[in-house]
Amino acid sequence: MKKTVIVISLVLALALSLCACKSKEKIKTNTSKEDIAQLGLSLEAPEGAENIEYAIVESEANGEDLSIAQISYNYNGIKCILRTANIASHNVSGFDESKAESEEQYDLNVGNYSSQIRVMHIDGKYVAIWTLGDHSYSLCMETDDSLNATSCAIDAANANVPEGGNQPTTEKESTTQEETSAQQQNDSYNSDENDNNSGYDETY
């Protein structure tokens, strides 16, 4: 009996130690969209999402306190938890990405932003993380379907394009725009010439 008690105590201690890995996060539920706005954050569920609930997560990054906005919702039959924070290139999901069993990366182009979205399979869930401007995002999805997970993540990204801070046009994009403008002017000139020649009798 004594051995059984010791074994149970060890199991409970191990469970508590595992929970302690996530104890740095304190989640405040029963919050609203306005509460999130007071943090200078904005977070929207994609169109068609149901059972939306807001929360604020108190965490830390680089030794400093970090407030994370969170919404949970059902989307296409999948339970999702979406997060964002005013910090670039930071994993705000609460999951340890080093434990990912698999990972796929996709190019992400939303609004004027070009980024990359990483979709990982961790602890039986799919977790997507990405950065737009100076905002980091994550989406945790309770599904085993990687294609559905990727689709949900892209829809969440499209629903949350940060206002302002649009990425500047790169030199390559600028050159392309100049070439396009020159081509448009040339097409317009050729069109005018064709209009002027349309009145001539082209009988030889």
Residue 164 lies in a domain: no
Cβ contacts of 192 within 8 Å, gap of 6 or more: none
pLDDT interval class at 24 (50, 70, 90): confident
* Predicted confidence (pLDDT) at residue 149 exceeds the cutoff of 70: yes
Residue 167 lies in a domain: no
Residue 175 lies in a domain: no
The mean-pLDDT minimum among 48-57, 109-118, 121-130, 149-158 falls in: 109-118
Domain that holds residue 113: 22-158
Residue 102 lies in a domain: yes
What's this model's pTM, rounded to 2 decimal places?
Answer: 0.69
Residue 140 lies in a domain: yes
pLDDT interval class at 71 (50, 70, 90): very high
Q: Which helix (H) or strand (E) holds 185?
A: helix 171-197
For the segment 124-142, the average pLDDT, to the nearest whole number, is 95
Tell me how far apart the alpha carbons of residues 43 and 117 are, in angstroms, rounded to a whole number.
17
Residue 180 lies in a domain: no
DSSP per-residue string spanning 44-61: -PPTT-EEEEEEEEEEEE
Residue 57 lies in a domain: yes
Into how many domains does the chain fold? Answer: 1
Residue 94 lies in a domain: yes
